[in-house]
Chain A
Amino acid sequence: MKTEPLLRVDSISKRFGGNQAVDHVSFEVPQGIILGLIGPNGSGKTTVLNMLSGELFPDEGSTYLEGRSITRLSPSQLAHLGVIRMFQMTRVFIRLSAFDNLLISGRALGLSAAEAETRAQSLVKELTLEQVQFLDAGQLSGGQKKLLEFGMCFMCPPKIALLDEPFAAVHPVMRETMAEFIRTRNQNGQTFLLVSHDMPIVKSLCHESICMNTGRIISQGSTRLVLEDPNVIEAYLGGDHV
Chain B
Amino acid sequence: MSQMENLWSRKLSRDLKCLFILCALMCLVPLFDLSPYTLGILIIGFYFALIALAWNLLAGFTGQFSMAPAAFAMIGGYITALLSYHLSVSLWIGIPAAVFGSALLGFLLGATVLRLKGPYLSLTTLAFAEIARVFIGNSHEFTRGDQGLNLPTLMESRIAYYYFFLLLVVLVGWLIFLLMRSKYGGYLLAIRDDAEAAESRGIPVVRFKLLAFTISSAICGFAGCMYGTFSQLVSPEMGLIQQTGLIISMVVIGGIGSLTGPVLGALLVYLSSEWLRDVGNIQLIVFAMLVIIFARFFRTGLWGICLSLYARLKPVKNN
Contact = CB atoms under 8 A, between A and B. Distances in A.
Interface of A: 53-55, 74-76, 79-80, 84-85, 87, 91-97, 99-100, 103-105, 107-109, 113-114, 116-117, 120-121, 134, 152
A152 B190 contact: no
A117 B202 CA distance: 18
Given A93-B190, A108-B190, 20 more contacts: A55-B196, A76-B205, A80-B202, A84-B200, A91-B197, A92-B197, A93-B189, A95-B189, A96-B7, A100-B7, A103-B2, A103-B5, A104-B190, A104-B201, A105-B202, A109-B201, A113-B1, A116-B1, A117-B2, A117-B5
Given A95-B189, A103-B1, A55 B201 contact: no
Contact of B6 (A76, A100, A152): A100
Nearest to A95: B193
A99 to B, nearest CB: 6
A94 B193 contact: yes
26 contacts: A54-B200, A55-B196, A75-B200, A76-B200, A76-B202, A76-B205, A84-B200, A91-B197, A93-B198, A94-B193, A96-B8, A96-B190, A97-B8, A100-B7, A103-B2, A103-B186, A104-B187, A107-B186, A108-B183, A108-B201, A108-B202, A109-B201, A113-B2, A120-B5, A121-B5, A134-B7
A117 B200 CA distance: 20
Nearest to A116: B1
Interface of B: 1-2, 5-8, 183, 186-187, 189-190, 192-194, 196-205, 257
A100 B202 contact: no
Main secondary structure of the interface of B (DSSP, over half): helix
B7 A152 contact: no
Interface centre among B1, B186, B202 (most CB of A within 10 A): B202
A79 B201 contact: yes
Contacts of A104: 183, 186-187, 189-190, 201, 203
A73 B274 CA distance: 53
A99 B7 contact: yes
A99 B205 CA distance: 21
Contacts of B2: 103, 113-114, 117
